[in-house]
């Protein structure tokens, strides 16, 4: 029997790279006021070209404008407009833009089939090191986002970042926190297990997470998390093909959104689609596309979002999704 591993054909739009956080491992951010925000006009041009490509998910990935900034309202409105534009052009947006207010999350729910936020690690010890100058990385704030997503019935993706100074036990505690929140709201569709990889822009004096440890992390995560949560791994950050296959054997079942550029880890390009197909096929795995929201959550969505999903499900290349 053929085993399935899923992925989302995706493209990333970045409203802005500016961010008021200064995480020392970041390869994404620029300082506030040092970036030209992405306009609707430019976005429309990009999306028009993608209509002839194999893309269903538009990942809206942004740096954070401070909640008290006079530009916060304009920042949020631009994100909302980008989601609405993507929907109008036949794509499915998935927004991951950092800490949001309850009202902001409630508004984005109307134009997103799913949303996400990395929990990273909940240990407060990192506030003394890599998160020393990152106010929105307070564990309580990020846990609150997961709670609010559950209350709002938003299908959600979260995850942990490995190799930023946490202990192994602290990683298990973070996964246990995700499990507890999911057991209350049943809204977390995926948990990403993301190894930290050294990048050219980061300030952190550290090393890449030892990738040979990742299959063990996957296996432990599978024990801790409910079976209804899919484990996701980023294939471009797993430089050893055998390790990638070992992670699948340990319980990972999704490769996330695969796009031309990993904006968070720009030094690590994705495999070609054909390269992934051949690697996985050599061990009996079938690479299957999926939508950014899982079928069990469809009835949480508005009728307009459900209609957008139906259009994709009726697309011949997405018929394998019906078995997920």
Give the domain ranges of the chain.
3-10+100-298
Reported as a single tens digit per residue, the pLDDT across 45-70 is 999 999 988 899 999 999 999 999 99
In sequence order, which residues have a C-beta less than 8 Å from that of residue 181 and are 6 or more positions away? Answer: 143, 146, 147, 150, 188
The model's pLDDT over 232-256, given as tens digits with 9 standing for 90+, comes to 999 999 989 999 999 999 999 999 9
Nearest Cα residue to 18 out of 106, 78, 89 = 78
pLDDT by residue (tens digit) across 159-201?
999 999 999 999 999 999 999 999 999 999 999 999 999 998 8
Q: Please answer whether residues 83 and 108 qualify as being in contact, where contact means their C-beta atoms are separated by less than 8 angstroms.
A: yes
- This prediction's pTM: 0.96
Fold of 3-10+100-298: TIM Barrel (3.20.20)
CA atoms within 13 A on the CB side of 36: 3
Distances (CA, A) of 195 to 52, 166, 251, 258, 311: 33, 12, 16, 16, 35
């Amino acid at each position: 029997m053929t085993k399935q591993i899923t992925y989302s054909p995706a493209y990333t739009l970045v409203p802005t790279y500016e961010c008021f956080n200064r995480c020392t491992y970041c390869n994404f951010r620029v300082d506030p006021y040092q970036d030209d925000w992405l306009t609707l006009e430019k976005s429309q041009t990009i999306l028009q070209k993608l209509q002839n490509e194999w893309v269903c998910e538009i990942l809206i990935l942004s740096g954070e404008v401070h909640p008290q900034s006079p530009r916060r309202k304009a920042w949020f409105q631009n994100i909302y407009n980008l989601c609405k534009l993507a929907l109008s052009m036949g794509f499915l947006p998935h927004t991951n833009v950092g800490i949001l207010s309850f009202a902001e999350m409630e508004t984005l729910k109307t134009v997103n089939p799913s949303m996400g936020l990395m929990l990273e690690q909940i240990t407060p010890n990192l506030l003394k090191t890599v998160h020393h100058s990152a106010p929105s990385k307070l564990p309580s704030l990020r846990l609150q986002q997961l709670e609010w997503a559950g209350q709002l019935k938003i299908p959600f993706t979260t995850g942990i970042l490995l190799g930023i100074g946490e202990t192994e036990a602290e990683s298990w505690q973070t996964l246990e926190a995700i499990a507890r929140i999911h057991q209350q709201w049943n809204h977390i569709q995926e948990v990403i297990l993301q190894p930290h990889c050294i990048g050219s822009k980061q300030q952190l004096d550290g090393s890449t997470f030892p990738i040979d440890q990742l299959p063990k992390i996957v296996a432990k995560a599978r024990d801790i998390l409910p079976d209804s949560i899919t484990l996701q791994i980023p294939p471009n950050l797993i430089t050893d093909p055998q390790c990638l296959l070992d992670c699948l054997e340990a319980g990972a079942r999704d490769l996330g959104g695969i796009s031309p550029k990993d904006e968070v880890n720009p030094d690590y390009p994705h495999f070609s689609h054909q390269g992934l197909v051949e690697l996985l096929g050599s061990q009996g795995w079938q690479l299957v596309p999926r939508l950014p929201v899982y079928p069990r959550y469809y009835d949480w969505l508005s009728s307009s979002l459900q209609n957008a999903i139906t259009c994709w499900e009726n697309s011949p290349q997405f018929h394998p999704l019906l078995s997920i």
